[in-house]
Amino acid sequence: MQTAQRVRTILSHYKRDRPEKRANVVRLLMHGQSGGTGRLLVLPVHQGFEHGPTRSSAPNPPAYDPHYLFGLAVDGRVSALAAPLEAGSDSFAGSVPMILKANNANGLAREQDQSVAAPFRDALQPDCSAIGYTIYLGADAQYGQIEEVREATAEAREHGLAVVIWAYPRGGELSEDGRTALDVVSYAAHMAALMGAHAIKTKVPGVHPKRGDANDSFEGVETDSLPGRVAHVMRCAFEGRRIVVFSGGGAKEEGDTLDEVRAIRRGGGSGSIIGRNTFQRPRDDALAMLERIAAIHSDGET
């Protein structure tokens, strides 16, 4: 089977992990609509912590209920649900792989940092396949975050958990545009790979190819197209040997989202992570959209 072969190829990039330790990576790669294709489709639902429950759920009030979010992940047949484990994981045990999003920002804070709101031990349960951490690369707090996450990464791998790093350039001297500049996004993805991530989550690289002060050369890189920029990020993630999934940020038109997904696919990206653009839509629309995204990633139609 071609798809299983793709998964085996991906697993060959994680030879440092002993075989019995890679079960959870397999689980993520074999579950749901994208199972076996080597692509991931992740539903993240920690926005309640980061932006507040009202702002997250008011556009689609059933989403106030954490069970609704679990149900969306199950029926939408995503690869994994990224969430705090606290709500619903009991009722939905075994129905969808979970990524415990261990640290979170919050919208009531004045300074940009992350607190580890879920202790590591929460991840050591049957319904949890991976642990996820955000790093604000560029922020003044990044040195401490890097050490914290690297330590957690090593521990997670020892327990056979997959590790997902949300590699977010932010803070320090980075401008708003700089956060999605191509050299910055690709740098962040590279660091996450060096830090031991099995999968990396970045933002879609923007049209600003460089920070103003950078002398990076992009000769030979197709910076004008999103597929070209995605391809450069993948190259910086160990020449494509690491899984990189892309997010598109805030809510937008379905057509725009699908165009972006197609571009990610053409650039060789490993998948999508898509939250507000699904759970803030009515359930049927969201399920249809997840199906379309999975189809784009899976059949490779470009």
Query: Under rule CB under 8 A, which residues in 246-285 are in contact with its own copies?
Result: none
Q: From the CB of 252, what's the least distance to its own copies, in Å?
A: 16
Q: Which of 168, 187, 246, 279 binds its own copies (CB under 8 A)?
A: 187
Q: Please, which of residues 81-140 interact with its own copies by CB under 8 A? A: 84-87, 89-91, 106-111, 113-119, 121-122, 137-138, 140
Q: Which of 27, 160, 216, 283 binds its own copies (CB under 8 A)?
A: 216
Any contact of residue 174 with its own copies (CB under 8 A)?
yes
- Build a one-symbol-per-residue string for 150-169: x at contacts with its own copies by CB under 8 A, - elsewhere: xx--x--------------x
157 contacts 126 by C-beta, under 8 angstroms: no
Q: Which of 14, 136, 187, 201 is catalytic?
A: 201
Q: Which of 5, 9, 23, 53 binds its own copies (CB under 8 A)?
A: 53
Only segment of 19-27, 187-195, 258-266, 281-289 that touches its own copies (CB under 8 A): 187-195
Residue closest to 257 by CA, chosen among 216, 208, 294, 211:
294
Q: Which of 11, 214, 258, 288 binds its own copies (CB under 8 A)?
A: 214
Our CB check for its own copies shows the closer of 130 and 236 to be 236
Q: From the CB of 183, what's the least distance to its own copies, in Å?
A: 5
Q: Which of 14, 168, 187, 203 is catalytic?
A: 168
Q: Please, which of residues 62-91 interact with its own copies by CB under 8 A? A: 64-67, 84-87, 89-91
Any contact of residue 21 with its own copies (CB under 8 A)?
no
Q: From the CB of 24, what's the least distance to its own copies, in Å?
A: 18
Please give the structure tokens belonging to residue 248.
Answer: 């598109």
Please give the structure tokens belonging to residue 300.
Answer: 């490779």
168: annotated active-site residue: yes
Q: From the CB of 300, what's the least distance to its own copies, in Å?
A: 23
Angle between helices 254-266 and 283-299 (to 10 degrees): 20
